[in-house]
């Protein structure tokens, strides 16, 4: 964490609303993307992001280390997303165009863009078929680049469990994609 960001977190920890607002601005899209990756619904992901920031704001004074802010915020978001996914019976996936995780490259031809969107939809459909535990670790690892140790900390589970879930999720995901591609 750079010093400027650490100072923003320290100021927010001391009750500075403007600094917290800057943190929200900085991390909002990341948090929405994490929630979306887990629950597959953009509207719910945006609501979860708002709730995560509210919870963070209300309890930021309890944070003991400013460098842990982002992982702590991701943990709040992940827990809220898992809770929502478990409660949400409809489990819909939004059209790929609404998703912030995947972005088109304007230099691509129309055919390449169509192929990219088809691949992205295939990935989303595959993620939707995983269990919430598998989907969560895969999203955190593959889409957001968290280390195994960071995932274990975020989810408050043993490192071995993270490794096992990621391995199982990857195998299951490959199996799903293989079936989808053969159709």
User: pLDDT of 34-62, one tens digit each?
Assistant: 999 998 889 999 999 999 999 999 999 99
Who wins on pLDDT, 162 or 64? 162
Query: Do 141 and 176 meet the contact criterion of CB atoms below 8 Å apart?
Result: no
pTM reported for the whole predicted model:
0.77
User: Encoding tokens for residue 26?
Assistant: 């900085």
Alpha helices by DSSP H, 40-68: 42-59
DSSP classification of residue 143: I
Overall number of domains in the chain: 1
CATH number at residue 48: 1.10.10.10
Domain enclosing residue 116, as ranges: 3-182
Residue in the block written with tokens 């043993």: 158
- Listed range (18-22, 121-125, 129-133, 146-150) with the worst mean pLDDT: 121-125
């Amino acid at each position: 964490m750079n010093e400027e960001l650490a100072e923003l977190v320290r100021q927010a920890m001391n009750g500075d609303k403007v600094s917290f607002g800057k943190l929200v601005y900085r991390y909002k899209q990341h948090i929405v993307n994490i929630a979306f990756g887990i629950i597959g619904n953009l509207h719910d992901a945006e609501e979860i992001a708002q709730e995560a920031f509210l919870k963070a704001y209300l309890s930021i004074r309890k944070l003991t280390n400013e460098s842990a802010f982002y992982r702590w915020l991701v943990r709040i978001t992940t827990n809220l997303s898992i809770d929502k996914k478990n409660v949400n019976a409809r489990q819909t996936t939004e059209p790929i165009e609404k998703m912030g995780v995947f972005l088109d490259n304007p230099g691509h031809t129309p055919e390449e863009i169509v192929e990219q969107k088809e691949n992205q939809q295939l990935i989303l459909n595959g993620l939707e078929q995983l269990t919430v535990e598998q989907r969560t670790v895969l999203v955190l690892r593959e889409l957001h680049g968290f280390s195994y140790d960071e995932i274990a900390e975020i989810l408050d589970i043993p490192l071995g469990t993270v490794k096992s879930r990621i391995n199982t999720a990857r195998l299951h995901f490959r199996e799903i994609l293989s079936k989808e591609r053969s159709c």
